[in-house]
Structure formats: C-alpha cells, structure tokens
Amino acid sequence: MDTIPLSERLIFALDLPSPEDAKRWVERLEDQVRFFKVGFELFLAGGFPVVEWIQSRGAKVFLDLKFFDVPATVERAVAQVARRGVTFTTVHGNDRILEAAVRAKGAVKILAVTALTSLDEGDLKDLGFQCSVEDLVLSRARRAMALGCDGLISSGLEVPRLRRELGSGSILVAPGIRPVANVDDQKRTVDPRQAFAAGADHIVVGRPIRDAADPQAAAQKILAQIEEGLRERRKVKGERLKAKGERLKVKG
C-alpha cells in the first residue's frame, strides 16, 4: 500500500483518561500525525463524541476496542461502529466472531487481533497454548483473512512472515513500537524502521511520544524512521524485480 500518506502511517495512541487530554494531544500533534487510536480508556471517558471531534479535525480514527463476545453481540457492536465513519476497528476471537464482525463492517476495516504484544511464549503457555507465538499468529492470520477481515494487528516481529505468506492485500498494523531499547510492559517489539522495512502499513505509538521531553520532535524522528524503512523496502522490492527480470531473460 504505497499510496498511504506518511502522516497516516504513524497512528498515535490516545491512551488518556479524558477527552480534554486527548484533544490537547491531537492539537499538539496534528501537523505531523493524521491518524489517532481511541482505546478502552478514552472511549469509556468520551464515547463517540471524542471520535467525532477527532474526525472533525480531518483526521482518521482507529477505534481499538478488541470486540470479543458472542457473535450476535459483536455483529451489533460493529454495526454501531460502521455508522460512525471510523477507519479501523479491532476484533478478537474465533471464526464465528470474526464472521459476525465481517457481516456488519460496512466501510470500516476489520483488523483481527493475532497475539497481544505484551505476551511472550511463557504467557501463551500459561494460557494453554502449546505452540510458538509466530505459529499462533500465522494460524490466526490465515483464518482471519480467509473469513474476510481486512487486516491484522501483529507485533512487528511477525510482520515479515505475514507479508510473505499473505501478500500485499492485507493491512498490517504493528503496535508496541519502540524507537529505543524497550523498558516497559511490551515484550515483542521492533523499531519503526524495522517494522516498515518488513512490510507494515501502519504502526501504533503512544508512550515513546507522549513521555518524550519534546513530543513533536519524537514524532518527527519516528516519521523519519518510517521513511527510512519504506525506502529500504522499495529498494529490496526493486532488486527482486530486477533479479526476476534477469532470470526471465536467461530462460528466454
């Protein structure tokens, strides 16, 4: 998806306790960032009015509520979101839950959650999974795309394999991005350059910008790293196409 504007590649996570806090951050970053994530905390505090306020600024909204319930409830919830002009929303769960979300999605893009970036293989064993994180992510990703989901939420560590396996038709959004060494609760992270070089379409970043001494400078640095990763990806793609062309010439 080479046509996505740079300002929409970076999704800023508005993980904040009030609509007033969220609005201040949107106003602070909107010259650089045009895509914002509204999660549980902010949505419970501000509901759809805060979503609509962000949209009124000409920005896109990723409503990250990770719907997980009986299929009929998920279908009705997604139908509510679809009427609000939201760009992305997230759904967790089994095939029937994902199918229900897809039936109601309208214009909103359904992103299936594969495995939370705060989980590692030890956590998966505690939850009863007897497989690697990568194998679990790939299995869930294949099913989600076959069921009609538009894309996936996945750690940047799994993005290279997902892009190889699923091709260019799936939207890959990588949360838990850390521009420097990781020191918080995210266990499976990459930096922005690595994520985009590997094939990500968007990244979600919150604390590394919000907690920076100069948040705007931090956002600008991340945008520069995104550009670097995209250049790297285009270069590799060009080299592969060139090599393929040379092989065809030899065969001809």
Q: Is 67 annotated as a binding residue?
A: yes
Q: Is 114 annotated as a binding residue?
A: no
| Rounded CA separation 134/119 (Å) | 12
- Distance of CA 66 to CAs 46, 92, 97, 161, 219, Å? 17, 6, 11, 23, 26
| Rounded CA separation 150/110 (Å) | 5
DSSP secondary structure letter of residue 158: T
User: Which is catalytic among the residues 21, 23, 66, 221?
Assistant: 66
Q: Is 117 annotated as a binding residue?
A: yes
Q: Where are the alpha helices (DSSP H) in the chain?
A: 6-9, 19-29, 40-56, 71-82, 95-104, 121-126, 133-146, 159-166, 192-198, 207-210, 215-251
- Which tokens is 121 given? 């293989």
User: Which is catalytic among the residues 23, 69, 109, 221?
Assistant: 69
Q: Is 70 annotated as a binding residue?
A: yes
Q: Is 178 annotated as a binding residue?
A: yes
Q: Is 66 annotated as a binding residue?
A: yes
Closest by Cα among 34, 28, 30, 39 to 4: 34
Q: Is 3 annotated as a binding residue?
A: no
Q: Is 143 annotated as a binding residue?
A: no
Active site residue 64: yes
User: Which is catalytic among the residues 2, 21, 60, 64?
Assistant: 64
Q: Is 64 annotated as a binding residue?
A: yes
The sign one gets for the Cα dihedral 156, 157, 158, 161 is: positive
Q: Is 130 annotated as a binding residue?
A: no
Active site residue 66: yes
Contact yes or no for 229/6 (Cβ under 8 A): no
Closest by Cα among 172, 173, 177 to 209: 177
Q: Is 65 annotated as a binding residue?
A: yes
3-state secondary structure 190-230: CCHHHHHHHCCCEEEECHHHHCCCCHHHHHHHHHHHHHHHH
Active site residue 123: no
- Which residues sit in the known binding site? 15, 37, 64-73, 117, 178, 186, 206-207
Q: Could you tell me which residues are annotated as the binding site for substrate?
A: 15, 37, 64-73, 117, 178, 186, 206-207
Residues involved in catalysis: 64, 66, 69
